[in-house]
């Protein structure tokens, strides 16, 4: 649809739109203009998602289902007033004209962001409120610039040191410190030269906010935090008060629309990936002051007692940060990383790499690791680390829930770039194998990779796999060797589902019959057709055409054999038509059914007449499209539905040219039998069909059965491969044919009281590896350009593990996302804890090296589903040989036999007998750790 400009709309009319279509197009034009001209300081308004959906339905934008490609017809009623009451809380900020937002709102679920002009128009048309606006701000990280909407500005508690009075202020987290000073001076009627503002986290002076060009986010100022106003002259002290719960939410990225028609003022996601895994399940949002101090919660105390145990520190949940905590705990219990960051790693900080954070992320992670290993059992709040991580990967800013494995991937990549020993990456042109042995080519590729990427992360975490592509046409083989940081293994689910399909005959030799088959839940249409072929005893000369019926018409044909069965829902109605092999070369005749009565002569009635029954499918030769051919084909396919009393001379009294249409030697006769030969023809008046002798009335129609055009005697022009005709059913047809067999078809699956519930069966890690490494064709959307054919081909792909890393990270793909659905698999995966032998899977083992044997040392768990969940981690202390459960700030011992659960999401293995002394099981130097307790903890490491 072409969207007119907003200026054109506004010039055309300043009054309310008369139709829903005008509203839709005007809003679209305004939104498009706002997105193309977005700038710092623009306003975006929050609109209740429930009201927004009502408006979208009214203007014809909401669809029935996710997989419905057609728009709904316009709703009859306009929505009522805009109701944003559920978005705001009763509490308000003193001095603020805007209400306070609820703290658990999410874009796309609770609210939608619209530009200012869109809000103005919606308010003119519908009224309501309250009005909630937020500013668009420019977010710049080096060369990366983007616009974000500060949906949840910081709410800070300002404490006046002169009289211990408190007041709340609201300011953007991207505001500079000098803007905070200006706001405070204006509110408190003081001069900036007379005051000092302190980071007063947990009622303790953390640091003086003196860097005026630093943002509040960079200064690690968080939601609901206290800041202290202190006069330079009198130096009054502050009182004490309780701290509010830290539950900050997100900055919403605002970027170009990913679709041609966007009226939400920005993308529908919040903070990038995994909004579907969001969760408000925070288990530790209330903290004890004893467990915190001024620098990220580090404290030399251990709950008041001396504890010589190291590596058992928890991480405070800052608000939906359990996904981050679980990944951090797994990494800080990785022996080679512990050894590396406890030593002096500053010499490897890369401050010149534009792909990193100039070493700041590595320094923040190193300091956090040292605190976790030197604070006994004291919990730590990773505020500074989260701030640095958010700068490297802005999608993790704010406090929405995210995917732990995704964060792990970004964190490892960020640490690598900050610690890359290569200061200036050389340009290396990719080369082909040119028939060289795999050993030689793989080593060359690895050396090229190391020439540009050389860090502790590459040394310990990166392996290499071989990728082989084979062209299905010219058999061209392409081999590449690529590095990997982790293995994402699919879960070969053994869950099955029952699918009922009604099978119709396309040649008129049998009545329709429903068949119920059992197939793999994660299977495809090829699996379903194979199961149906077996159960209905299909002949070698026949094939099945699978289709979905909706609203008494063919909704879609399922002709793609690799289309997943997840697109088929239990309430759908599936049919299959038995057709001759090679029917794709013939013209498909689709027969729809409509009710006929005394109003049949009324053209308006014909338009509004509803369809009945189920469509029938048959095939006719492409050159046999005359009236007699069409009637003969329809007569043939209707034969099984003839009532017993109707079998007589009247049925065959129709004057047709021959017995029926020929299908490549197969002639479909009017009695359902087949005979050899071609359709006989005659000339002259014999070609005419006497309408009075026709047993039923047919007309050409469209896919919805609305259009009704007469059928020509000689031939009928067809656009495409399908000819659709509608058959009128009067009392005469109902007496002749039994339509009950076409009506009330069974659904795909209708659970009953005694229906058997599907059960998740356990799989082992090796079957996941087999599924990952098996050869399979590329998808239609992932075609490979064959250098031999010079064409894009659906090649077959085979992966092989060539070189394994010292630390093997295994990601179990429990979450699946598609256009049609989102799903989480709770399949129990039986994974080895000791003696994981990879010799069967790795293709390259260095001479004299031991067989690749691995031992588990950490696990990231995910509990719950897509709508809400929680992450935790199991980790092993190597020096103790004991396992512990790290659940945010709570740390507890756990037996080894308890760590295998269906919640396991990411597995961490270390190679036994590796090059690192830590990896070999030598205890970590405790004296080195103990020395950290008395060492000063600075915010910046000298580099």
pLDDT of 690: 56
pLDDT of 97: 54
Question: pLDDT tier at 369 (50, 70, 90 boundaries)?
Answer: very high
DSSP string of 794-850?
Answer: --EEEEEEEE--SEEEEEE--EEE-SS-EEE----EE--SS-EE-TTTBS---TTPP
Under 8 Å CB-to-CB from 684, ≥6 apart: which residues? none
Q: In this predicted model, what pLDDT tens digit does every residue of 275-321 receive, in sequence order?
A: 222 222 233 332 222 223 333 433 332 333 334 567 888 998 888 88
pLDDT of 67: 40
* pLDDT of 236 higher than 60: no
Question: By the 8 A CB rule, do 30 and 42 touch?
Answer: no
Q: What residues does 893 pair with on adjacent strands?
A: 884
Question: pLDDT tier at 823 (50, 70, 90 boundaries)?
Answer: confident
Q: What is the mean pLDDT of the chain?
A: 75
Q: What residues does 138 pair with on adjacent strands?
A: 147
CA separation for the pair 286, 657 (Å, rounded):
86
Mean pLDDT, range 374-396, rounded to an integer = 82
CA separation for the pair 581, 514 (Å, rounded):
22
663-667, long-range: CB < 8 A, 24+ apart: 663/580, 663/583, 663/586, 663/619, 663/620, 663/621, 664/580, 664/582, 664/585, 664/586, 664/621, 666/507, 666/580
DSSP string of 21-87?
Answer: HHHHHHHHHHHHHHHHT--TT-EEEEEEHHHHHHHHHHHT---SSTT--SPPPPPSS---SEE-GGG
Question: pLDDT tier at 536 (50, 70, 90 boundaries)?
Answer: confident
Q: In this predicted model, what pLDDT tens digit does every residue of 4-52 receive, in sequence order?
A: 444 444 444 444 556 778 888 888 888 888 887 888 788 888 898 888 8
Task: Please give the share of the chain, as a percent, with pLDDT higher than 70.
Answer: 72
Q: Catalytic annotation on 614?
A: no
Q: Catalytic annotation on 870?
A: yes
Under 8 Å CB-to-CB from 847, ≥6 apart: which residues? none
pLDDT of 375: 58
Using alpha carbons only, how large is the chain's radius of gyration in Å? Answer: 35
529 versus 66: the higher-pLDDT residue is 529
SS3 928: helix
Mean pLDDT, range 120-138, rounded to an integer = 86
653 versus 640: the higher-pLDDT residue is 640
pLDDT of 532: 92
Strands 829-830 and 763-764: parallel
Q: What residues does 686 pair with on adjacent strands?
A: none
Question: pLDDT tier at 127 (50, 70, 90 boundaries)?
Answer: confident
913-922, long-range: CB < 8 A, 24+ apart: 913/850, 913/853, 914/806, 915/806, 916/335, 916/336, 916/339, 916/460, 916/806, 917/339, 918/335, 918/336, 918/338, 918/339, 918/878, 919/335, 919/336, 919/806, 919/807, 921/878
Least confident of 153-162, 305-314, 354-363, 872-881: 305-314
Q: In this predicted model, what pLDDT tens digit does every residue of 666-678 receive, in sequence order?
A: 433 333 333 333 3
Question: By the 8 A CB rule, do 316 and 284 touch?
Answer: yes
3-state secondary structure 1-29: CCCCCHHHHHHHCCCCCCCHHHHHHHHHH
* pLDDT of 642 higher than 70: yes
Q: In this predicted model, what pLDDT tens digit does every residue of 547-594 receive, in sequence order?
A: 999 888 889 999 888 788 888 888 899 999 999 988 888 889 898 988
pLDDT of 495: 66
Q: What residues does 883 pair with on adjacent strands?
A: 876, 894
Distances, alpha carbon 582 to alpha carbons 102, 528, 707, in Å? 61, 20, 30
843 versus 66: the higher-pLDDT residue is 843
CA separation for the pair 591, 553 (Å, rounded):
9
* pLDDT of 333 higher than 90: yes
Alpha-carbon dihedral of residues 229, 230, 232, 233, nearest 10 degrees?
Answer: 130
Q: In this predicted model, what pLDDT tens digit does every residue of 879-914 receive, in sequence order?
A: 888 999 999 988 999 999 899 999 999 999 999 864
User: Catalytic: which of 155, 322, 445, 525?
Assistant: 322
Q: What distance lies between CA 856 and its chain's CA centroid? A: 29
Q: Identify which of 116, 98, 112, 108 has the alpha carbon closest to the alpha carbon of residue 39.
A: 116
* pLDDT of 686 higher than 60: no
Question: pLDDT tier at 266 (50, 70, 90 boundaries)?
Answer: very low
SS3 391: helix
Mean pLDDT, range 202-211, rounded to an integer = 78
936 versus 542: the higher-pLDDT residue is 542
Q: Percent helix, strand and coil across the chain, each rounded to 5?
A: 25, 25, 50
Least confident of 166-170, 463-467, 501-505, 905-909: 166-170
User: Catalytic: which of 402, 593, 811, 870?
Assistant: 870
Question: By the 8 A CB rule, do 251 and 271 touch?
Answer: yes
pLDDT of 240: 36
CA separation for the pair 85, 81 (Å, rounded):
11
Q: In this predicted model, what pLDDT tens digit does every residue of 708-743 receive, in sequence order?
A: 888 887 777 777 788 888 888 888 888 888 888 888
pLDDT of 537: 85
pLDDT of 340: 93
* pLDDT of 934 higher than 80: no
CA separation for the pair 883, 749 (Å, rounded):
45
Question: pLDDT tier at 834 (50, 70, 90 boundaries)?
Answer: very high
CA separation for the pair 486, 411 (Å, rounded):
13
SS3 263: coil
Under 8 Å CB-to-CB from 434, ≥6 apart: which residues? none
Q: In this predicted model, what pLDDT tens digit does every residue of 745-764 receive, in sequence order?
A: 899 888 754 344 444 556 88
Mean pLDDT, range 366-385, rounded to an integer = 83
Least confident of 70-84, 511-525, 683-697: 683-697
- Write phi, then psi, for 115 (nearest 5 degrees): -65, 165
Under 8 Å CB-to-CB from 526, ≥6 apart: which residues? 561, 562
Q: In this predicted model, what pLDDT tens digit does every residue of 440-493 receive, in sequence order?
A: 888 989 999 999 999 999 999 999 999 888 888 888 888 889 999 999 998 876
């Amino acid at each position: 649809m072409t969207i007119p400009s907003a200026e054109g709309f506004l010039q055309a009319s300043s009054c309310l739109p008369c139709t829903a279509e005008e509203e839709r197009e005007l809003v679209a034009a305004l939104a498009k203009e706002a997105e193309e001209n977005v700038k710092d300081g623009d306003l975006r308004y929050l609109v209740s998602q429930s009201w927004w959906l009502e408006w979208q339905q009214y203007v014809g934008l909401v669809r029935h289902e996710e997989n419905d490609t057609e728009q709904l017809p316009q709703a009859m009623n306009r929505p009522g007033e805009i109701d944003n009451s559920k978005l705001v809380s009763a509490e308000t900020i003193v001095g603020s004209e805007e209400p306070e937002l609820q703290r658990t709102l999410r874009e796309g679920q609770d609210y939608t962001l619209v530009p200012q002009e869109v809000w103005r128009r919606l308010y003119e048309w519908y009224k309501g409120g309250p009005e909630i606006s937020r500013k668009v701000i420019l977010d710049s990280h080096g060369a990366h610039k983007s616009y974000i909407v500060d949906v949840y500005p910081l709410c800070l508690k300002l404490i006046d040191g002169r009289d211990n009075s408190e007041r709340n202020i609201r300011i953007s987290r991207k505001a500079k410190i000098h803007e905070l000073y200006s706001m405070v001076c204006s509110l408190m009627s003081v001069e900036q030269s007379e005051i000092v503002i302190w980071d007063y986290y947990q009622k303790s002076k953390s640091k003086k906010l003196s860097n005026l060009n630093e943002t509040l986010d960079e200064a690690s100022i968080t939601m609901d935090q206290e800041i202290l106003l202190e006069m330079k002259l009198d130096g009054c002290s502050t009182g004490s008060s309780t701290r509010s719960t830290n539950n900050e939410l997100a900055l919403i990225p605002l970027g170009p629309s990913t679709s041609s028609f966007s009226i939400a003022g920005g993308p529908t996601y919040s903070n990038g990936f995994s909004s579907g895994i969001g969760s408000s399940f925070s288990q530790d949002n209330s903290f004890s002051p004893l467990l915190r101090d001024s620098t990220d919660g580090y404290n030399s105390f251990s709950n008041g007692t001396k504890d010589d145990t190291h590596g058992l520190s928890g991480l405070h949940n800052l608000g939906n940060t359990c996904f981050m905590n679980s990944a951090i705990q797994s990494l800080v219990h990785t022996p080679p990383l512990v050894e590396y960051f406890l030593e002096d790693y500053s010499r490897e900080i890369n401050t010149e790499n534009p792909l990193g954070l100039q070493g700041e992320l590595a320094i923040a992670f190193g300091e956090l690791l040292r605190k976790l290993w030197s604070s006994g059992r004291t919990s730590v709040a990773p505020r500074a680390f989260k701030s640095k991580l958010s700068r490297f990967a802005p999608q993790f800013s704010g406090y929405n829930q995210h995917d732990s494995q995704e964060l792990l991937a970004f964190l490892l990549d960020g640490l690598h770039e900050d610690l890359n020993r290569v200061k200036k990456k050389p340009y290396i042109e990719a080369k082909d194998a040119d028939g060289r042995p795999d050993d030689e080519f793989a080593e060359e590729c690895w050396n090229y990779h190391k020439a540009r990427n050389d860090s502790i992360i590459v040394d310990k975490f990166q392996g290499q796999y071989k990728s082989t592509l084979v062209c299905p046409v010219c058999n061209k083989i392409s081999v590449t060797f690529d590095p990997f940081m982790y293995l994402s293994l699919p879960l070969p689910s053994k869950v099955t589902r029952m699918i009922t399909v009604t099978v119709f005959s396309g040649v008129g030799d049998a009545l329709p019959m429903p068949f119920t088959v059992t197939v793999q839940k994660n299977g495809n249409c090829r699996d379903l057709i194979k199961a149906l072929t077996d159960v209905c005893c299909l002949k070698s000369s026949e094939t099945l055409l699978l289709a979905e019926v909706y609203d008494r018409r063919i909704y879609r044909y399922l002709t793609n054999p690799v289309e997943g069965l997840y697109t088929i829902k239990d309430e759908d109605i599936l049919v299959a038509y038995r057709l001759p092999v090679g029917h794709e070369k013939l013209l498909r005749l689709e027969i729809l059914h409509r009710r006929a009565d005394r109003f049949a002569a009324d053209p308006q009635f014909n338009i509004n007449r509803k369809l009945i029954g189920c469509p029938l499918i048959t095939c006719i030769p492409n050159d046999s499209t005359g009236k007699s051919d069409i009637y003969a084909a329809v007569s043939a396919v209707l034969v099984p539905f003839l009532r017993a009393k109707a079998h007589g001379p009247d049925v065959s009294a129709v004057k047709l040219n021959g017995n029926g249409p020929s299908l490549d030697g197969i002639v479909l006769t009017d009695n359902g039998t087949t005979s050899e030969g071609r359709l006989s023809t005659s000339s002259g008046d014999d070609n005419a069909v006497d309408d009075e002798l026709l047993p039923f009335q047919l007309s050409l129609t469209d896919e919805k059965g609305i259009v009704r055009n007469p059928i020509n005697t000689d031939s009928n022009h067809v656009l495409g491969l399908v000819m659709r005709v509608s058959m009128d059913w009067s009392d005469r047809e109902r007496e002749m044919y039994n339509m009950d067999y076409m009506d009330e078809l069974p659904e795909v699956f209708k659970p009953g009281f005694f229906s058997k519930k599907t059960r998740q069966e356990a799989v082992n890690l090796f079957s996941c590896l087999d599924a990952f490494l098996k050869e399979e064709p590329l998808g239609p959307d992932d075609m490979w350009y064959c250098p031999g054919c010079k064409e894009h081909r659906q090649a077959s792909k085979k992966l092989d593990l060539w070189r394994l890393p010292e630390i093997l990270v295994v990601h179990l793909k429990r979450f699946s996302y598609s256009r049609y659905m989102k799903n989480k698999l709770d399949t129990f995966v039986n994974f080895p804890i000791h003696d994981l032998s990879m010799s069967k899977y790795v293709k390259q083992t260095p001479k004299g090296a031991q067989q690749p044997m691995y031992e588990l040392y950490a696990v990231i768990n995910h509990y719950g589903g897509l709508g809400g969940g929680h992450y935790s981690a199991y980790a092993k202390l190597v020096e103790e040989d004991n396992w512990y459960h790290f659940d945010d700030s709570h740390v507890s011992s756990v037996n080894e036999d308890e760590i295998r659960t269906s919640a396991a999401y990411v597995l961490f293995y270390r190679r036994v007998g590796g090059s690192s002394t830590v990896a070999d099981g030598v205890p970590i130097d405790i004296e080195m750790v103990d020395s950290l307790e008395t060492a000063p903890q600075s915010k910046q490491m000298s580099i």
